[in-house]
Amino acid sequence: MTDLAFGLTMTVLGMGITLLTLLLLTLVIRLLNRLYPFQKEEEKKS
């Protein structure tokens, strides 16, 4: 494998892993928002 091919492979892998991690983080945040919805201070008191 040439240096250029290796560099491009590592670039694509790095970008792919980064995007998958961001997608996973987004899904976890959405799940937590559904499990624990935001409540205003006024609703908590009553």
Cα separation, 32 vs 34, in Å, equals: 5
What pLDDT, on the 0 to 100 scale, is given for residue 41? 77
For the full predicted model, state whether its pTM sits above 0.85. Answer: no
On the question of pLDDT at 39 being above 70, the answer is yes
DSSP 38: -
What pLDDT, on the 0 to 100 scale, is given for residue 42? 72
Round the average pLDDT of the chain to a whole number and report it: 92
Specify the residue for token string 């040439």. 2
What pLDDT, on the 0 to 100 scale, is given for residue 46? 55
Which tokens in the block code for residue 45? 């008191």
